[in-house]
Amino acid sequence: MKELKRVIISGGGTGGHIFPAIAIADEIKRKFPQCDILFVGAEGKMEMEKVPAAGYKIVGLPIAGLQRRITVQNLVLPFKLLSSLMKARKVVKEFDPQVAIGVGGYASGPTLQMANALKIPTVIQEQNSFPGKTNKWLAAKAAKICVAYEGLERFFPPSKIAVTGNPVRLEVTKIEGKKDKAFAHFGLSEAKKTVLVIGGSLGAKTLNDAMDESVQKLAENNIQVIWQCGKYYADALLNKWKDRLPDGVWLNPFIFEMDLAYAAADIVVSRAGAISVSELCLVKKPVILVPSPNVAEDHQTKNAMALVNKGAARLVKDTEARSVLANEILQLAGDSEAQIGLSDAIETLAKPNATQDIVQEIINVI
């Protein structure tokens, strides 16, 4: 087997890009402990903090995205792009990697473009069912494209596609035998149905508004709720519900013990980010997805529909969630046959070996 000795990983901007990148790096290090890994990110973006925290070196490019309105930032964008291409060329040439991996996001464009120009093979990892602009642009010269969903031949050359799934936090999906510990941790009863509501670390306004209006109704119908509201909304919600939160409702900005939350849940209500969806496939619980409309190309709806079309999830539109989510939860909670059907269907979409498979594709390329 060819040994990986020097690898560049580029991309970021959001956790949905950064987490897979770090997971890939961790798997490379597990397989090849001596491998030198360099990340290339965008200056001022969250990867510049998250990647060093995970123990890896990172170089920042001055690249930025196009604003949708006329701004000064748009006027300087061509200069930032040119500067990023020049810096990326210098970084790639000096580091001399065997392969450059792009995970999406601004920085991966200049980095993989320069790697291709220097005859270094490139691999793309696309998390969503509808690819981002950067990955679509880079696909023509990529040696391999690792995707999480089937049907991406519409966007990428079919001969280059490998359906590997997305890298996920396997430790949070290991939930077997943890139910007793989970109910004790959240202070809930094993005798009642439990709904887990997750909207990301920052929070999702629609989900919080929907739960704010319906948590009392759910409690009156013997439904318990683990409600992760996110840091943006925590103060207002915790102040509002202080001392009057219904029994069986756990409200907090974060869930640090996600394995326990998944273990306790009978039903999960979630946004439809690519990594969240991949995680939920491994958890195998009935899911109601409420896709965020505030994302490029409405890709969360496309992620959700990839499951809904296979009977593996239910969908509630963001615009309708405030009025219908509670009834959807109650209807599903009362239909054990539907719960089993959703669980069985979502299990068939799980890719537990995604990270290992992606790294194997990288090895094959070199």
Annotated binding site for UDP-N-acetyl-alpha-D-glucosamine: 14-16, 128, 169, 201, 255, 300
How far is residue 5's CA from residue 99's CA, in Å, rounded to a whole number?
Answer: 10
Residue 45 burial by CB count (10 A; 0-12/13-18/19+): exposed, middle or buried?
buried
Q: Dihedral of the CA atoms 313, 183, 259, 312 (nearest 10)?
A: -10
CA dist 257 → 32, 74, 96, 201, 261 (Å): 30, 42, 40, 13, 7
Helix H or strand E encompassing 260: helix 258-264
Q: Which residue ranges are tagged as binding site?
A: 14-16, 128, 169, 201, 255, 300
Helix H or strand E encompassing 60: strand 57-61
Check residue 96 and give left, alpha or beta (phi > 0: left; psi -120 to 50: alpha): left
End-to-end alpha-carbon separation of the chain, Å? Answer: 10
How far is residue 66's CA from residue 68's CA, in Å, rounded to a whole number?
Answer: 6
CB–CB of 362/98 below 8 Å? Answer: no
State both tokens at 249.
């409702």
Q: How far is CA 322 from the centre of its chain?
A: 24
Residue bearing tokens 């915790």: 238
How far is residue 332's CA from residue 341's CA, in Å, rounded to a whole number?
Answer: 11
CB–CB of 275/168 below 8 Å? Answer: yes
